[in-house]
Amino acid sequence: MANKFQRLIRFEDTEGRVLYGEAPSSEELAGQEVPVYSGHDPWNLEATETVAKVAKVLCPLLRVPIIYGIGLNYKTHILEAGFPTPKHPTVFTKPPDALNGPFEDVRVHPDCTNMDYEGELAVIIGEDCKNTTSSENALNHVLGYAVANDVSSRYWQLPEISGQQHGYAKSFDGFAPLGPVIVSPTVLSDVDHLTLVTKVNGEERQRARLDVLLFSVGDLIVHLSRGTTLRAGTVILTGTPGGVAAFMKPPAWLRDGHTVEVSISNIGTIKNRMIFEDARQ
């Protein structure tokens, strides 16, 4: 699909207006003056001659129809988890209210314990598609790419509690920070050369090149669109590499006030603080 943007930012300007704009390639977005687009959806924008100053960076998507998560898509994560290599993508879903901004706090319910991070590449679908049969053609439906964190409560993921299901542990409000921009495929024609890094309070926990994905972006779209309409705005979280808190010895769970920073080269960085809603710990 043809995009009007290269690096799309959704932001609040100094007058309190929420706008879409063309972001610079620099990491620092707040305080930048950017060209503004007209329109309400990232896949239906028009350029204007207006510029505005970024006061606050918002999630580049106002809303989503659904978020698909993919488990066990990096061999390093498969090895640390001790699971067999899947023949097909392992799929779970996160509801629309899991969506969160790139720099917003993640509020954690008191019953959510054993909190973990999963730095991931996010793929945003830009036009409805169904029954896509070619991995190459599947990429034509991609609006762009962003950085995400598949926040997870491992307590609710325990087999004896979850019934072997992933979704509930990852579906709480705000458990899918995403951004800081959407980068068009015209800029990132190939994501394989990108590097993902996750840090907790500045300590590196995850690092991986995206060319080691078990199932590629195109493969995932083919699988998810089989008999199913993927609506514009659908987000696909493509999986996380090894280095999650659950498999450290001992497990290094996230605590109240911890900050998780996920970066992907040529896209940007999201940074979210965990706020536990029970007694501060």
Do 119 and 38 sit in the same domain of this protein? Answer: no
In a domain, 71, yes or no: yes
Do 53 and 74 sit in the same domain of this protein? Answer: no
Do 211 and 262 sit in the same domain of this protein? Answer: yes
Report whether pLDDT(141) > 90. yes
Report whether pLDDT(65) > 90. yes
DSSP string, 110-137: TT--SEE--EEEEEEE-S-B-----HHH
The span from the CA of 156 to the CA of 94, in Å, is 14
Q: Which residue has the higher pLDDT, 279 or 234?
A: 234
In a domain, 1, yes or no: no
Report whether pLDDT(281) > 80. no
In a domain, 191, yes or no: yes
Report whether pLDDT(280) > 70. no
pLDDT of residue 185: 96
pLDDT of residue 278: 74
At 75, give phi and psi (nearest 5°): -60, -35
Residues 6+ apart with CB under 8 A from 145: 121, 122, 123, 124, 182, 183, 185, 188, 191, 264, 267
pLDDT grade, residue 78 (50/70/90)?
Answer: confident
Entry pTM: 0.96
Do 97 and 188 sit in the same domain of this protein? Answer: yes
Which among 17, 38, 57 is the end of a domain?
A: 57
Residue type, 59: C
Do 40 and 113 sit in the same domain of this protein? Answer: no
Do 44 and 164 sit in the same domain of this protein? Answer: no
In a domain, 265, yes or no: yes
Do 88 and 27 sit in the same domain of this protein? Answer: no
Average pLDDT value for residue range 204-214: 95
Q: Which of 90, 184, 93, 186 is nearest to 144 (CA)?
A: 184
Contact 239, 223 (CB under 8 A): no
* Domain enclosing residue 168, as ranges: 67-276
pLDDT grade, residue 111 (50/70/90)?
Answer: very high
Tally the domains of the chain: 2
In a domain, 281, yes or no: no
Do 188 and 262 sit in the same domain of this protein? Answer: yes
Q: How do strand 142-149 and strand 195-200 relate by DSSP bridges? A: unpaired
Do 168 and 101 sit in the same domain of this protein? Answer: yes
The span from the CA of 62 to the CA of 64, in Å, is 7
Of the listed ranges 64-68, 114-118, 277-281, the least confidently predicted one is 277-281
Do 146 and 223 sit in the same domain of this protein? Answer: yes
Do 112 and 189 sit in the same domain of this protein? Answer: yes
The span from the CA of 208 to the CA of 37, in Å, is 34
The span from the CA of 278 to the CA of 176, in Å, is 21
In a domain, 62, yes or no: no
Cis amide prior to 86 (ω within 30 degrees): no
Residue type, 124: I
Report whether pLDDT(165) > 70. yes
Q: Kindly state the helix (H) or strand (E) to which residue 169 belongs, with its residue range.
A: helix 167-170
CATH number for the domain harbouring residue 136: 3.90.850.10
pLDDT of residue 26: 80
In a domain, 23, yes or no: yes
In a domain, 2, yes or no: no
Do 237 and 109 sit in the same domain of this protein? Answer: yes
Residues 6+ apart with CB under 8 A from 265: 194, 195
Average pLDDT, whole number, for the chain? 95
- pLDDT for 245-267, tens place per residue? 999 999 999 999 999 999 999 99
